[in-house]
Chain A
Amino acid sequence: DTEVTQTPKHLVMGMTNKKSLKCEQHMGHRAMYWYKQKAKKPPELMFVYSYEKLSINESVPSRFSPECPNSSLLNLHLHALQPEDSALYLCASSQDSTGDTEAFFGQGTRLTVV
């Protein structure tokens, strides 16, 4: 199984809502990542978890809150988002976070904030 599964595939939320994005992998990978991708732009790194600990936070606003409950699961909690946060949110995983490991990406959650 070389899949990274993201749910939901699509999400529409109001600016006062709280929602969560979920990412799951069963490859035994110990590094997991969240990316944000706007239309016609490259993915932008948001967070890196290494061995279930937050290793990198790329100055992401606190309305995005990551969580890694166990080595297979990564969540992104969303609260009080703005319309400009509408984007494709991608999750990825790799065996670890060293240079010699390939990353596997999910198909993303397309988020629309209204």
Chain B
Amino acid sequence: DAKTTQPNSMESNEEEPVHLPCNHSTISGTDYIHWYRQLPSQGPEYVIHGLTSNVNNRMASLAIAEDRKSSTLILHRATLRDAAVYYCILRGFYSGGGADGLTFGKGTHLIIQP
């Protein structure tokens, strides 16, 4: 599986934007970039995913480098409820009924200061 590298932790202030980086230099052409987060004592929660183009949804934006070897998750205005571990995961495409699980790395522990 292609691997991702994320900083162990990041700190930001409430109501400010947060940029969470992820490096994935061995990404293959068919790997999707997924982001999940896990709040304390909860199961992981889907945030966003993309292949090549930048993506926006109600939770966040995903900026993907042109060479796809890195990506950045952007939280536009962090709140205390965004404090969580954020995981960047590559998910491959399997045709013909194949299967792939999400393989979690260590993730980035995001701390939000009031």
Contacts and interface: CB of A to CB of B under 8 A. Distances in A.
A45 B44 contact: no
Interface residues of A, number: 27
B22 to A, nearest CB: 14
A49 B51 CA distance: 24
Contacts of B102: 33, 45, 92, 103
Contact of A45 (B87, B95, B101): B101
SS class, residues of chain A in contact with chain B: strand
A99 B92 contact: yes
SS class, residues of chain B in contact with chain A: loop
Interface in B60-114: 85, 87, 91-95, 97-107
Interface in A8-56: 31, 33, 42-45, 48-51, 55-56
Contact of B98 (A92, A97, A108): A97
A43 B38 CA distance: 10
B101 A48 contact: yes
A44 B104 contact: yes
Contacts of B103: 45
Interface of A: 4, 31, 33, 42-45, 48-51, 55-56, 58, 90, 92, 97-100, 102-108
Interface of B: 30-32, 34, 36, 42-46, 49, 51, 85, 87, 91-95, 97-107
